[in-house]
Structure 1
């Protein structure tokens, strides 16, 4: 279908694009500390860990302890993606808090990643989902690789 160019629509779109709310990327840039706190909540993961007798203290040792838990969550396929997302955000929070120069970054599509001082980006949510579903890579292994660079 051949749609004719309508100049006033182009001007209208440009004018209204400026009025739209800022995207997630802008929030990351404007309040990185607030975003870091929000991403570190990981309520479902913390609840599951507490049920297993593990308190998550935002340290690399807690990642190793998570790796040792029996994966009872795999019995609930509806829980897996949510828990995996939380595991990835928790992993990212630990990296950002303990690896010098690591920061949260968001891709234009909205996926949060951790950017290391070297410029390398870690797709922590993807790593958390893989950990929740398959058990690999271990969260502590991803952290170890991030802390080496």
Structure 2
């Protein structure tokens, strides 16, 4: 989605907090999942590097191999980090039986596994984008085992 006025708003406000998702999760869980799966910036950076993101575990491995050029851009880093976490969550939701999006009361999206365990994928995306560790594919493998 290219909404020009959002670019300026994002620069002033910082990364999305997800507060708007609180009520929407109960009303339209499919719509929330679709919204969280967009990850537009990450998908654009991956496409530039020749990586197609098909919501599979293999695509997480490919992302782990990207050169982290976003670390040089303090404006891009938080957005890409957020997208990385949401993409990890999207792959988990689509491939791990029983996994669903859960939005905390403060609007923070996490993945709830069939076992009841909650995985803070947004924080995992921040760590990956900032430090490169743990790798997204490693986190996925850990979650898929449970």
Question: Following TM superposition, by how much is the alpha carbon of 1:73 offset from its aligned partner in structure 2, in angstroms?
Answer: 1.0
Name the stretch that deviates more: 69-78 or 23-32: 23-32
Does residue 110 (structure 1) correspond to residue 103 (structure 2)? The answer is: no
Larger Rg over CA atoms:
1
Task: Provide the residue aligned with 1:70 in structure 2.
Answer: 67
Who is 1:126 aligned against? Answer: 123
Name structure 2 gaps, 5 residues minimum: 1-19
Equivalent in 96, 101, 104 of residue 99 of structure 1: 96
| Whole-angstrom CA distance in 2 between matches of 1:24 and 1:86 | 16
Moved over 2 A (4+): 23-26
Normalised by the size of structure 2, how large is the TM-score? 0.85
Matched residue, 1:26: 23
Q: Which piece of structure 1 moves more, 27-36 or 56-65? A: 27-36
TM-score by length of 1: 0.83
Distance 1:77 1:57 in 2: 27
1:25–1:105 CA contact under 8 A, matched in 2 = no
